[in-house]
């Protein structure tokens, strides 16, 4: 049974029940749909059987008879994903996941985008589904940057051509900026940037021009940088920075926050009647006194 001491947060507009549960941090939307099908979810005491149900404002949602926890403020973390872990909650092949490697001190988090099993570098984590969707949308226009080591000798004209996009096996891949950083023997290091990443896009596009990726490190996601994070290290982005980068608005738009009582401020004094100016002084400007100035010997 899921326990909680707080009531379900109120919303201003009806929302799908699975979305409400997921944003409360209990599980993913798909998992919430399974809970609904199993009869574990109720609205105002009525057990649900369809995930298409919407939650009206002020309704009480319970899971296993317990109310949903209040939603936390939106938070964001930078995580240096090491090579050899998969970006998923569960893996049928039994491979380790990023969630197996995260510290226990973190709340339930969602990954923003993905890095495949053999890729490493910056992976953003958030506790807020609205932030996740916003940062993943291509409309945000945030650039993902990578340092890529390839086996082969890519030509400059081949790399420039990628800026027009490419079609491979019936799939259109968007514009990609790729520049040669250095050639070292049979390997070369490239700087690669793209706006929207499909599954294994960098690897497939570079293989299309005749080179093979043997290391891929994401170094930036929009304004957020990998920096000096060690593999496996997690560091939280401050709330101030998060608000600034999301345009100054509340990061979790439409997400309830825990209310904190405001400190009462002392009552303001009412201003009295304006004082009348006195008569102008008849004294002239004060002369500077030289009484204490020493004369040179």
- Compute the mean pLDDT over every residue in the chain, rounded to the nearest whole number: 81
**What span, in angstroms and rounded, lies between the C-alpha atoms of 2 and 15?**
21
170 and 213 assigned to the same domain: yes
Q: Is the pLDDT of residue 89 over 70?
A: yes
Q: Which residues neighbour 232 within 8 Å (Cβ) at sequence distance 6 or greater? A: 80, 82, 101
pLDDT-based confidence at residue 209 (cuts at 50, 70, 90): very high
Please compute the mean of the pLDDT values over residues 28-37 and round it to a whole number.
89
3-state secondary structure of 149: strand
**Domain limit, last residue, from 23, 46, 67:** 67
Q: Is the pLDDT of residue 60 over 50?
A: yes
Helix (H) or strand (E) holding 55: strand 54-55
Contact 10, 57 (CB under 8 A): yes
Q: Which of 126, 157, 171 is nearest to 23 (CA)?
A: 126
Residue 173 within a domain: yes
Contact 63, 79 (CB under 8 A): no
108 and 241 assigned to the same domain: yes
Q: Which of 122, 8, 14, 125 is nearest to 68 (CA)?
A: 8
CATH value at residue 182: 3.30.70.1560
pLDDT, position 220 = 97
230 and 217 assigned to the same domain: no
Say if pTM beats, i.e. exceeds, 0.85.
Answer: no
100 and 235 assigned to the same domain: yes
Contact 8, 44 (CB under 8 A): no
**What span, in angstroms and rounded, lies between the C-alpha atoms of 227 and 121?**
10
Residue 149 sits in which domain range? 143-221
| Catalytic residue numbers, as ranges | 116
Residue 42 within a domain: yes
Which single residue is written with the structure tokens 């800026």?
Answer: 163
Task: Work out the angle at residue 252's Cα, subtended by the Cα atoms of residues 134 and 121, and round it to the nearest 5 degrees.
Answer: 50
126 and 77 assigned to the same domain: yes
Residue 132 within a domain: yes
3-state helix, strand, coil in the chain (%, to 5): 20, 25, 55
Residue 147 within a domain: yes
Residue 219, number of CB atoms within 10 A of its CB: 16
Domain count, the chain: 3
**Domain limit, last residue, from 221, 238, 264:** 221
Q: Is the pLDDT of residue 8 over 60?
A: no
pLDDT, tens digit, for every residue of 137-186? Answer: 877 778 999 999 999 999 999 999 999 999 999 999 999 999 999 999 99
- Rounded percentage of the chain residues whose pLDDT exceeds 90: 52
CATH value at residue 22: 3.10.290.10
């Amino acid at each position: 049974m899921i326990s909680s001491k707080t009531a379900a947060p109120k919303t201003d507009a009806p929302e799908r029940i699975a979305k409400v549960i997921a944003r409360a941090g209990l599980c993913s939307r798909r998992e919430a749909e399974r809970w609904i099908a199993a009869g574990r979810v109720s609205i105002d005491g009525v057990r649900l059987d369809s995930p298409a149900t919407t939650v009206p404002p002020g309704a009480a949602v319970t899971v296993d008879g317990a109310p949903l926890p209040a939603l936390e403020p939106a938070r964001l973390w930078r995580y240096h994903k090491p090579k050899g872990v998969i970006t998923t909650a569960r893996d049928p092949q039994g491979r380790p996941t990023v969630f197996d490697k995260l510290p226990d001190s973190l709340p339930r988090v969602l990954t923003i985008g993905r890095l495949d099993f053999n890729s490493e570098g910056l992976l953003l984590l958030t506790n807020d589904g609205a932030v996740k969707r916003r940062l993943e949308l291509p409309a945000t226009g945030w650039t993902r940057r990578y340092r890529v080591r390839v086996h082969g000798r890519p030509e400059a004209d081949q790399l420039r051509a990628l800026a027009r996009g490419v079609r491979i096996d019936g799939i259109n891949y968007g514009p990609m900026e790729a520049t040669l950083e250095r050639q070292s023997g049979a390997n070369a290091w490239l700087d690669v940037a793209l706006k929207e990443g499909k599954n294994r896009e960098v690897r497939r596009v570079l293989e299309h021009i005749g080179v093979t990726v043997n290391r891929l490190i994401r170094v930036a996601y929009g304004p957020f940088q990998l920096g000096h994070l060690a593999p496996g290290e997690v560091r939280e982005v401050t709330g101030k920075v998060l608000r600034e980068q999301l345009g100054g608005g509340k990061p979790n738009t439409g997400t309830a926050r825990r209310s904190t009582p405001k400190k009462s401020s002392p009552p303001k004094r009412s201003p009295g009647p304006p004082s009348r100016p006195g008569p102008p002084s008849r004294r002239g400007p004060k002369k500077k006194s030289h009484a204490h100035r020493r004369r040179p010997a």
